Structure 1
Amino acid sequence: MNSLFISFPGDLHGHLEDLLLIFYKNGLPSSDKPYVFNGDFVDRGKNSLEILLILFGFLLVYPNDVHLNRGNHEDHIVNLRYGFTKEVLGKYRVHGKKILKLLQMIFSWLPLATVIDNKVLIVHGGISDTTDLDKIACVDRQKYASALRPPKMKVHGCMTKMNENREREACGQVEGRRRVCSLTYQSSAPDHRQDLPRRSLNNTPVCSKLDLSVDEKLNRRCRLSGFDQARCELKKSDSYLESKTTETDLDEWKQIVDMLWSDPMPQNGCIPNEVRGGGCYWGPDVTEEVLRRNNLQLLIRSHECKQDGYEFCHNRRVITIFSASNYYEVGSNRGAFIRMGPDLVPHFIQYQASTTCRELTLRQSVGWTERSALKALREQLFVHRSDLISAFQEFDPNNKGMISVTHWASTTERVLNLGLPWRVLRPQLVSSTQHGMMDYQQWIKELSITEPKLEISDNSILDTMYKNHSNLETIFRIIDTDHSGLISFKEFHQTWELLRSHLKTEISAKAIADLAQSIDFNKDGSIDINEFLEAFRLVDISAHN
């Protein structure tokens, strides 16, 4: 189906709580909810490895719906300096070096860019005045384990025009499906589902002329970035550095460095990025030219922390998206990700992980799977409530309605025979116990309540909005006046003040405030689209009960 939204998170940098918060707000990756993660999964944060395991797991389960672009930190030399190498060796003391070697190979195979519907380019760093997407699409990227050193010496032939055309025709040209093309990503057999297509370009090198300044320029950039010592250490063990690289290798290497390390600037032109020591600063004129030449309309990149989690530049043709909140310190910045539908209009969802939010996120992340399982389990318990009551009464001879938690666990297993650790699950299934005893009759009554109840002092507000339940997303966007993807309490209050005046209805300010706080399920001080829709789903349940 062509109506699917695609989501684009930016840098995560080991901030597991931000990834889990994205999943909580937006849903887990699936065939109905595709994601393009735009690099820099690792370094700086303490949970880089956990993020990789989660993303790789989803990539294996949904290879056509989860895309992982490479960032400048998906580089084993950079990892030596910024923490990921130390994290892996600390967590895997026996096999850490083998894991790092495997990850080095995986990083080198990650796509350098992704294209949506042939109109939106997603790349981690950026572009330059020499960016050539055809060359990027043909790079033999396994040679470039690090963008901070020359590739291995190999002899490569040029791809013929006939083979190039054949490969381009094989890149998922399936009519009626949206195109998500990972440049330099070699896909497996094409997926013929009619939901979201994936096409990939071949990875064969393209010959080019030698630019004599490239080697010196990149060596200088490496020195400026502080990795010259690491490169010298690698020279001791890697004999290929003693050989000269080919003309094609140098040109490809420069293309890769520019895409991974570059930043936009407000002035026209393209100059070396002296601050980072790699890539370039490129101006709006370069953006216009590269987008025009490739018939694109928008460039999405990451690579830079932004206070609001995102930022437009270059006449709104370039978006920077950054997903690691509290990057420098707690409160320093919000994180954000992009949702984009078939109209290719970006919608921004912002968030900021806090101590409270982190606890909720960790619970509910396990939550998206766990909550569904618990809901199904409660339904099973409720279906067998008569058998359970009869079995519980065996341990309640005086008919006081109380049994021990131990008897509850053993009896529940005997009735349902599911082989579950009921004592471990007891906190999620039993609301209260006293001195190891529980009120099983009250518990049976509570089993039918599988969702949180809204405590709202004035249901007339929800009744008014529920009449427009088929247009809830439109209503959400109307209330979200700053188009941030979140409704602040102030926006919510202002909207209802206007509605109260228009409807000539008496609705107290306290009722509006109570409603906003009730819909804010995760208590982060704002209402996202999932919380908004969930509130009305609960109202619908209440209306039918």
Structure 2
Amino acid sequence: MPNITHLSTSYTNEITICGDLHGRLDDLLLIFYKNGLPSAEKPYVFNGDFVDRGKKSIEVVILLFAYLLLYPDYMHLNRGNHEDHIMNLRYGFTKEVMQKYKAHGREILQLFQDVFSLLPVATVIDGKILIVHGGISDQTDLDFLSSIERHKVKSALRFPRRSVEQLDIGQSCRQMKRLRSTACSRPSSSRSHSKNQRTPNQRNRRCGHSRQDSAASTSSSSSSSSSSSSLCSPRTPSGLSPRPFPFSPSMPCAINDLQVPFLDSLSSVPPPSPPQRDREWKQIVDILWSDPKTQKGCSPNTFRGGGCYFGPDVTQRLLLQHGLQLLIRSHECKQDGYELCHGGQVITIFSASNYYEEGSNRGAYIKVGRDLVPRFYQVRAAEGSALKALKEKLFSHRSELLSGFQQYDLNNTGSVSVSEWAQVLESVLRLDLPWRTLRPHLARLAPDGSVDYQSCFEHMESGIFLPQVTSNLAETLFRYRTDIEIIFNIIDKDHSGLISVEEFRHTWRLFSAHLGVDIDDRAIDDLARSIDFNKDGSIDFTEFLEAFRVVHKLDNKDQPLNGKMDGEKYF
């Protein structure tokens, strides 16, 4: 695979572009469900950060690799900053591999390390849309990027190994000492005469060369410092005096020395010449780690410790230089799953929903056709927590469980022993689970050590407005929540997670045609607006469930009173 993959929309109608997944298998499967599986008719570009943070990184990356092998011309993977073995060590992928593959974990990790370094770092669609994981800098050169040996950069967090391997540190230090002693022993008149013999052009060239080398040294060492410093265990080699290692790109570096991070030591050596590998390394660091900013110019990305912040002028200059019109990148979580900046020339796409917590953000993906106009599609995976599913199971059987608890709670204290609580759960739910171990997550203890069984049904973040829902209706909605969700997804034709007025109107036209009832569009629109409780112009699943509650409540008003009304059961 080349460093930069070139795709064309002339062979397909659309290309789908996805951002960070971070081990969220639910989001990946939801995208495939809504948009279709990768194939010759449905090509994909996944823009890096497949692993880390999420609990199913292995499943995500293996699924992506499987489709890459199956459809190598239609499945494309860009490398992200988390396709890096040092990042994996810190953010969970290494631990996940070792837990799931105990016997061969180390070998598998080594394979992943090698494969990650072989992934392309950029994709270009129709010569007009550039896709990279992080961003660009004022030094980004796509022509130069196409020619580098990317597989040698196993980690963007470590300075190129060549700068260490091809330099004899002890010999370099001896040479520096010898030069200093020679310079000190030389007569002052001779030094003065030699200095004055140089032409102004020669002096300027030497100064310029020194400044360039030191600048490359500064940016390279500092870009990796924030991540490498936490992994380094500094030791001072014999015969060398250590120098302070900068912790962000904004901190100055020694002018004539190059500071190289090792995993087990820090050393200062003269800068390599020529710094070809350093330039290659910095190109990849900027591509994987940079972020856009609103201000003009390019400055060190002190927050991340690597890459840079690039302004709209940097974006425009690169696009003009290479005849591009749009830059698509990922690397940052956005509340809506995507964001436009730099006058619409930069798009951030992020596909992992609920990234920080449940409900924190939507995921999104982009579809680009032959007109090269990006179209955005949002996704939000349902909560995949087994614990929450278990809580919903408890709530859906609330009546039976309360009846079972009250058989032991003869004095109506609201509490039972832990063994009685576990016995009721097992008999009602018929689930062979370690209830005593799960008790801290499901119910709280009373002061005397017994279980407050009413607490099993508190704090249900179900999407239903519990204070307004009758017990029987709430349980019914929970039991048939899956069926209601299926109905919701049928109406939600574009699978955006929201029902638009047009989608609602289309469904009701089908209903009216099937039932032979004539309903005009105005009445349908009024009904849609009545369900849209927050008045944002669309109906989400919570509002859809609430509509069932309202209908149930209105039906009860038409029925004769038999003893207590359902309204008296509100809780």
Question: CA deviation digits over 1:424-463, x for unaligned, max 9?
Answer: xxxxxxxxxxxxxxxxxxxxxxxxxxxx99999xxxxx9x
Quick check: 349-358 or 22-31, which moved more?
349-358
Instruction: State the partner residue of 1:347.
Output: 375
Matches within 5 A, 1:368-379: none
**Which AA in structure 2 matches 1:214?**
A
Which residue does the alignment assign to 1:219?
221
Of the three residues 313, 321, 333, the one matched with 1:293 is: 321
Give the whole-Å Cα distance in 2 for the aligned partners of 1:117 and 1:485. Answer: 27
CA contact (8 A) 2:234 2:265 kept: no
Shift of 1:10: 0.1
- Shift in CA distance, 258/231, structure 1 to aligned 2, threshold 3 Å: farther
Separation in 2 of the partners of 1:100 and 1:454? 39
The match for 2:41 among 32, 35, 42 is 32
Task: Assess, with a 3 A threshold, how the Cα gap between structure 1 residues 110 and 230 changes in structure 2: closer, same or farther.
Answer: farther
Look up the SS of the partner of 2:64 in the other structure. Answer: helix
How big is each residue's C-alpha offset from its partner over 1:158-193, in whole Å with a ceiling of 9 and x where there is no partner?
xxxxxxxxxxxxxxxxxxxxxxxxxxxxxxxxxxxx
Post-superposition CA distance 1:301-339 (Å, at most 9, x none): 000000000000000000000001000011000000001
Determine if the alignment matches structure 1 residue 134 to structure 2 residue 124.
Answer: no
Aligned counterparts of 1:526 and 1:321: Cα–Cα separation in 2: 27
Partner residue, 2:54: 45
Deviation at 1:81, TM superposition (A): 0.8
- Report the residue type matching 2:106 in the other structure: K
* Residue in 1 that maps onto 2:499: 488
How many pairs are equivalent? 351
Quick one: structure 1 residues 491 and 93, their matched pair in 2 at CA, closer, same or farther if it must change by over 3 Å?
Answer: same
Other structure's SS at 1:29 match: coil
Q: Check conservation: 2:497, 2:541, Cα contact below 8 A.
A: no
Between the aligned partners of 2:66 and 2:543, the Cα distance in structure 1 is 31
Closer, same or farther: CA 226–327 of 1 in aligned 2, 3 Å: farther
Query: Deviation string for 1:5-41 (max 9, x for gaps)?
Result: 1000100001111001110110110111000000000
Which residue does 1:7 correspond to in 2? Answer: 16
Mapped partners of 2:17, 2:305: distance in 1? 27
C-alpha contact 1:270 1:281 (8 A) present in aligned 2: yes
Distance in 2 (alpha carbons) for counterparts of 1:88 and 1:15: 15
Q: Distance in 1 between matches of 2:266 and 2:148?
A: 22
Letter in 2 for 1:229: L
114, 117, 129: which one aligns with 2:126: 117
Q: State the alpha-carbon separation in 2 of the partners of residues 8 and 526 from structure 1.
A: 30
Residue in 2 that maps onto 1:247: 275
**Hey, what's the Cα distance between the residues in 2 that align with 1:28 and 1:291?**
32
Distance 2:348 2:366 in 1: 10
Counterpart Cα distance in 2 of 1:28 and 1:297: 28
Change (3 A) 1:236 1:212: same
Deviation at 1:212, TM superposition (A): 2.2
Q: Deviations over 1:86-142 (max 9, x none)?
A: 111111111111111111111111101000000000000000111100011111011
Q: Which amino acid aligns with 1:118?
A: G
1:186-235: per-residue Cα shift (whole Å, max 9, x none)?
xxxxxxxxxxxxxxxxxxxxxxx963222333322333346442486983
The answer to whether the 8 Å contact 1:144/1:151 transfers is yes
> Are 1:235 and 1:241, in contact at CA under 8 Å, matched by a contact in 2?
no
* Structure 1 residue 488: Cα displacement: 2.7
Match in the other structure for 1:330: 358
Cα gap change, 1:453/1:81 in structure 2, threshold over 3 Å: closer, same or farther? closer
| Equivalent-residue separation in structure 2 for 1:49 and 1:137 (angstroms) | 29
Matched, 1:308 2:323: no
The residue that corresponds to 1:270 in the other structure is 298
SS of corresponding position for 2:72: coil
Query: How far apart in 1 are the matches of 2:486 and 2:115?
Result: 49
| Greater alpha carbon shift after TM alignment, 304-313 vs 235-244 | 235-244
| Contact 2:78 2:122 survives alignment (8 Å) | yes
When residues 242 and 30 of structure 1 are mapped into structure 2, their CA distance, relative to the original with a 3 A threshold, is farther
CA distance in structure 2 between the aligned counterparts of 1:241 and 1:112, rounded to whole angstroms = 30
Q: Secondary structure at the match of 1:355?
A: coil
Other-structure match for 1:371: none
Distance 1:62 1:493, change over 3 A: closer
Q: CA deviation at 1:153?
A: 2.0
Partner-residue secondary structure (3-state), 2:294: coil
| Contiguous gaps of at least 5 residues in structure 2 | 1-9, 165-210, 236-260, 388-482, 513-517, 533-539, 545-571
Q: Is the 8 A contact 2:133 2:287 kept in 1?
A: yes
Q: In 1, are the aligned partners of 2:217 and 2:271 still within 8 Å (CA)?
A: no
- Residue 48 to residue 281, structure 1, CA distance change in 2 (3 Å): same
Q: Structure 1: which 5+ residue stretches go unaligned?
A: 156-208, 360-451, 457-461, 463-474, 518-522, 528-545
Letter in 2 for 1:302: S
1:140-289 matches, within 5 Å, as 140-153=149-162, 211-225=213-227, 227-230=229-232, 235=262, 246-289=274-317
- Matches of 2:496 and 2:85, distance apart in 1: 36
SS of match in other structure, 1:251:
helix
Q: Distance in 2 between matches of 1:240 and 1:2?
A: 53
CA distance in 2, matches of 1:455, 1:13: 27
The SS at the match of 1:42 is coil
- Answer yes or no: is the 8 Å Cα contact 1:30–1:62 preserved in 2: yes
Report the identity percentage: 52
Which residue is 1:505 aligned to?
520
Whichever of the two has the greater Rg, that structure is 2
Per the alignment, residue 173 of structure 1 pairs with none
SS of structure 1 residue aligned to 2:131: strand
Quick one: distance in 1 between partners of 2:486 and 2:365? 31
TM-score (norm 2): 0.55
Give 1:78's aligned residue: 87
Q: Secondary structure at the match of 1:229?
A: coil
Letter of the 2:262 counterpart: K
- TM-score w.r.t. the length of structure 1 is 0.57
Instruction: Compute the displacement of 1:61 (Å).
Output: 0.5
Q: CA deviation at 1:149?
A: 1.0
Mark the CA change 1:526 to 1:299 in structure 2 (over 3 Å): closer, same or farther.
farther
Whole-angstrom distance in 2 between the partners of 1:90 and 1:338: 34
The amino acid that maps onto 2:214 is L
Q: In structure 2, what is the equivalent of residue 404 of structure 1?
A: none
SS at match of 2:162: coil
AA at the equivalent of 1:223: S
1:358, 1:310 → 2: CA distance?
29
> Are 2:225 and 2:305, in contact at CA under 8 Å, matched by a contact in 1?
yes
* 1:150 CA displacement: 1.9
- Are the aligned partners of 1:6 and 1:339 in contact in 2 as well (CA < 8 Å)? yes
The 1:287/1:509 distance shift into structure 2, 3 A limit, reads same
Residues 271/237 of structure 1: CA separation in 2 closer, same or farther (3 Å cut): closer
Distance in 2 between the 1:223 and 1:258 partners?
14
- Quick check: 1:147–1:256 contact (8 Å CA) kept in 2? yes
Instruction: Output the CA distance in 1 between the equivalents of 2:234 and 2:26.
Output: 37
CA distance in 1, matches of 2:155, 2:315: 26
